[in-house]
């Protein structure tokens, strides 16, 4: 048996297993439709249209009547059941890189002074800049790299096909912080040595004391201090190992970069800025996608959406979103930073801040500890200003 409505073949002679139509009712409806159509045709022949206009109206009414009949018939047999939409297959999520200890390269912190730089008002809209072609997030991700050095991890991005910009503190430890670290470790080492001498003197005195409460009490004091020394020594040795890494300048061959596709390279050489927390890395490779700076006059306004891309705590090529919060200086007559509430964490240092059109706006450089939504970036214009001799 073939269904007269959907042509499904089956053994059931009463009702279609697919569309649910009842064959007997369907046949009666079809016969009624044919009879009504024949009646309409006969009526059309018998009636003499008074004019061309009235004949057109009659034809229109007949067509509308036929449409209503067909619609009613279809609704009667099919009801208001809707065909469920196919379930979309689950999207595979690429595994992220294993996080590693990045405590050495945590973004530097500075006290924020209550000084806000004037931001262009939203109503003074700048000339509309054309968007970068293609998927802006994918393009920015492919132009961003993860950076690993003996000091820890960070991020960077291509500003042209040959050069990568990042933060100076990603590839070179800050000299002031290194001096402070060295001073603290030297104090700790001296304190440890003095404690060892004191314990040695106590042991000498212990041998001279006769048995009794004083001798027993001194033995307890010696044991307590020796236990404390055992806990202090490993931490002191670890800090001394870190200081040795800091004192030994990072070599180009020790700086590795990782692309979004997993490819790994070692840089050729690098330059650091004495004025800004910026560094420029040079590599030998083919043409790489890079991030374009915005056209002249295309300014950011407070509230504009921005994205941060980087490798926070070793999670490579992570994307976070936020808004441009404004321009701010950290100290009087200090450099101007872009402020954003897009998440910036240790490992994001050196990564790009891009706008909705795909243009790079800044280099993520720091966040304020124990705060949320207070991240800062160096404006991209400073990169081309500082390395103008290389980035023509």
Q: Which segment of 23-32, 121-130, 270-279 scores lowest on mean pLDDT? A: 121-130
Residue where a domain terminates, one of 51, 83, 115:
83
Asked if residue 139 and residue 278 are part of one domain, the reply reads: yes
Residue 288: pLDDT above 90?
Answer: no
Asked if residue 343 and residue 271 are part of one domain, the reply reads: yes
Q: What CATH number should be reported for the domain holding residue 310? A: 2.40.10.120
Residue 70: pLDDT above 70?
Answer: no
Asked if residue 34 and residue 127 are part of one domain, the reply reads: no
More confident residue, 54 or 103: 54
Burial (0-12, 13-18, 19+ Cβ within 10 Å), 336: middle
Asked if residue 211 and residue 337 are part of one domain, the reply reads: no
Residue 367: pLDDT above 80?
Answer: yes
How much is the average pLDDT of 360-378?
90
Burial (0-12, 13-18, 19+ Cβ within 10 Å), 45: exposed
**Domain annotation covers residue 392:** no
Q: Quote the pLDDT of residue 77.
A: 52
| Domain encompassing residue 18 | 1-83
Asked if residue 201 and residue 113 are part of one domain, the reply reads: no
pLDDT by residue (tens digit) across 298-354? 889 999 999 999 998 888 999 999 999 999 988 887 889 999 999 988 899 999 999
Asked if residue 232 and residue 133 are part of one domain, the reply reads: no
Asked if residue 305 and residue 196 are part of one domain, the reply reads: no
How much is the average pLDDT of 249-261?
88
Asked if residue 262 and residue 347 are part of one domain, the reply reads: yes
184 pLDDT band (50/70/90 cuts)? Answer: very high
pLDDT by residue (tens digit) across 9-67? 777 777 887 777 787 788 888 888 888 888 777 766 565 544 444 555 566 666 666 66
How much is the average pLDDT of 236-248?
85
Q: Quote the pLDDT of residue 108.
A: 41
- Of 128, 155, 121, 94, the residue nearest 356 (C-alpha): 128
Q: Quote the pLDDT of residue 167.
A: 95
**Domain annotation covers residue 93:** no
Residue 111: pLDDT above 80?
Answer: no
Asked if residue 126 and residue 265 are part of one domain, the reply reads: yes
**What pTM was estimated for this model as a whole?**
0.58
Angle (CA) 243-245-246 rounded to 5° is: 65
Q: Quote the pLDDT of residue 113.
A: 46
**Domain annotation covers residue 91:** no
Asked if residue 266 and residue 140 are part of one domain, the reply reads: yes
Residue where a domain terminates, one of 220, 247, 274:
247
Average per-residue pLDDT in the chain? Answer: 80
Look at the chain and report how many structural domains it folds into: 3
pLDDT by residue (tens digit) across 221-233? 999 999 999 999 9
Q: Quote the pLDDT of residue 74.
A: 56
**Domain annotation covers residue 332:** yes
Asked if residue 334 and residue 273 are part of one domain, the reply reads: yes
Residue 165: pLDDT above 90?
Answer: yes
**Domain annotation covers residue 98:** no
| Residue % of the chain over a pLDDT of 70 | 76
Q: Quote the pLDDT of residue 58.
A: 65
**Domain annotation covers residue 92:** no
Residue where a domain terminates, one of 209, 225, 247:
247
Are the C-beta atoms of 281 and 255 separated by less than 8 Å? yes
Q: Quote the pLDDT of residue 45.
A: 57
Residue 105: pLDDT above 70?
Answer: no
Asked if residue 270 and residue 185 are part of one domain, the reply reads: no
């Amino acid at each position: 048996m073939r269904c007269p409505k959907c042509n499904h073949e089956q053994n059931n002679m009463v009702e279609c297993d697919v569309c649910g139509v009842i064959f007997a009712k369907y046949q009666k409806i079809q016969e009624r439709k044919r009879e009504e159509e024949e009646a309409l045709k006969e009526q059309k022949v018998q009636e003499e249209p008074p004019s061309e206009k009235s004949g057109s109206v009659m034809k229109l009414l007949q067509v509308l009547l036929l449409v209503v009949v067909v619609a009613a018939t279809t609704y009667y047999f099919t009801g208001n059941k809707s065909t469920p939409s196919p379930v979309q297959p689950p999207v595979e999520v690429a595994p992220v890189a294993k996080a590693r200890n990045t405590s050495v390269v945590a973004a530097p912190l500075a006290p924020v002074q209550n000084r806000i730089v004037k931001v262009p008002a939203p109503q003074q809209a700048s000339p509309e800049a054309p968007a970068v072609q293609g998927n802006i997030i994918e393009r920015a991700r492919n132009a961003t790299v993860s950076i690993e050095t003996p000091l820890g991890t960070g991020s960077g991005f291509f500003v042209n096909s040959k050069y990568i910009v990042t933060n100076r503190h990603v590839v070179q430890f800050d000299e002031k912080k290194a001096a402070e670290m060295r001073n603290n470790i030297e104090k700790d080492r001296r304190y440890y040595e003095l404690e060892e001498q004191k314990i040695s003197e106590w042991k000498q005195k212990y041998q001279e004391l006769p048995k009794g409460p004083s001798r027993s009490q001194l033995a307890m004091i010696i044991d307590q201090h020796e236990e404390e020394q055992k806990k202090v020594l490993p931490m002191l040795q670890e800090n001394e190992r870190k200081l040795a890494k800091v004192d030994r300048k990072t070599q180009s061959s020790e700086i590795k970069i990782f692309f979004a596709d997993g490819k790994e390279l070692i840089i050729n050489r690098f330059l650091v800025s004495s004025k800004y927390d910026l560094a420029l890395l040079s590599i030998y490779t083919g043409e790489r996608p890079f991030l374009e700076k915005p056209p002249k006059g295309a300014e950011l306004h407070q509230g504009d959406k921005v994205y941060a891309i980087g490798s926070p705590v070793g999670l490579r090529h992570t994307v976070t979103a936020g808004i441009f919060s404004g321009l701010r200086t950290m100290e009087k007559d200090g450099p101007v930073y872009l402020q954003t509430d897009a998440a910036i964490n240790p490992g994001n240092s050196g990564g790009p801040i891009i706008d909705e059109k795909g243009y790079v706006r800044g280099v993520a450089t720091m966040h304020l500890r124990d705060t949320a939504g207070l991240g800062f970036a160096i404006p991209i214009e400073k990169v081309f200003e500082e390395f103008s001799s290389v980035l023509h």
